[in-house]
Amino acid sequence: MYNSNGDMTKQIRILQAVYLIVIALLLILIISTPFLISDGFSVFSEELTETVFILLLSIIGIIIYYFYNRELKKSREQLDSSLSYIGAVNVQMEQIESIFDSLKKYPENKNDLKYLFKSLADKALSIAGSDWVVFRVIELSSGKTLTEYKETCGDVVLDKYEISNKALIGGVGISNYTIFSSAQENFNLKVFAILPKDGLTDSQSVLIKSIVNNLGMLYLIFTSSYSKNSKENSKT
């Protein structure tokens, strides 16, 4: 995204440079008109020819100025839009990070895990403006569901849905839903977020992907910690 802003800024500078060069050439032509036009250049008098030629160059300059302003305005609007987009994403990312920063400890038991799921589900609902979200954690080696958490917005009732783990793992396109999966490839589990298909924007998608990726790592920490605590308790 930052590269995109750099490209737009560069485009504006190039546009300004080209405009200044063209205007400079026009000014040189206007100043040189008396020297370029001499007697016998046309059937009209030298003064009239010079006046018409300067008038035409001035009109061309005005036209160039009009198109330059239009393109400059368009480029600046795109840059402003891009900066607003980045600002909105940064704010949301800070809010997501604040959720993880507020964790005084990594999830060690099911209550900790439930709190984490709820906090991130509420955030996902807020970002997507969706009626509901489902987090599903799947063990890749067996294809079994390890955990599934559902959250709805207000009094919304979650409709019955049927999405197989095989379809999620295989990345099969599923109509009527938007699916996000954790990006880590070296874990034996993946976290999926399932939302009703509402045509999410790029910024919304980036933020929810961040939630899912972080949730995947924290769930792995939970399973390791939970397994360790269970073994220690069984020994005592």
- Domain range for 146 is 106-235
Task: Indicate whether 122 and 224 sit together in one domain.
Answer: yes
pLDDT at residue 190, as a whole number? 92
* Confidence at residue 2, expressed as pLDDT on a 0 to 100 scale: 39
Residue tagged 């709190």 (tokens): 115
- What whole-number distance in Å separates Cα of residue 120 and Cα of residue 108? 17
**Residue 101 in domain:** no
What are 111-126's pLDDT values in tens digits?
888 888 998 898 889 8
Same domain, 68 and 151: no
Please check whether residues 133 and 191 belong to one and the same domain: yes
Kindly report, residue by residue over 63-109, the tens digit of the pLDDT.
777 777 777 777 777 777 666 666 666 766 676 666 556 555 667 77
Average pLDDT over every residue of 212-233: 71
pLDDT in tens, 3-37: 455 566 676 677 777 777 877 777 777 676 666 65
177 and 115 fall within a common domain: yes
Q: How many domains does the chain have?
A: 2
User: Has residue 92 been placed in a domain?
Assistant: yes
pLDDT at 231 over 60: no
Q: Read off the pLDDT of residues 131-189 as tens digits, 9 standing for 90 and up.
A: 899 999 999 989 999 999 999 887 777 777 778 899 898 887 777 888 999 987 777 88
Report CA torsion sign: 18, 19, 22, 25.
Answer: negative
> In Å, what is the CA distance from 114 to each residue of 49, 92, 176, 215?
85, 22, 27, 12
At 93 the pLDDT is 67
Predicted TM-score (pTM) of the model is: 0.57
pLDDT at position 234 over 50 = no
Amino acid 204: pLDDT: 82
DSSP conformational letter for 188: S
Domain finish residue from 77, 96, 115? 96
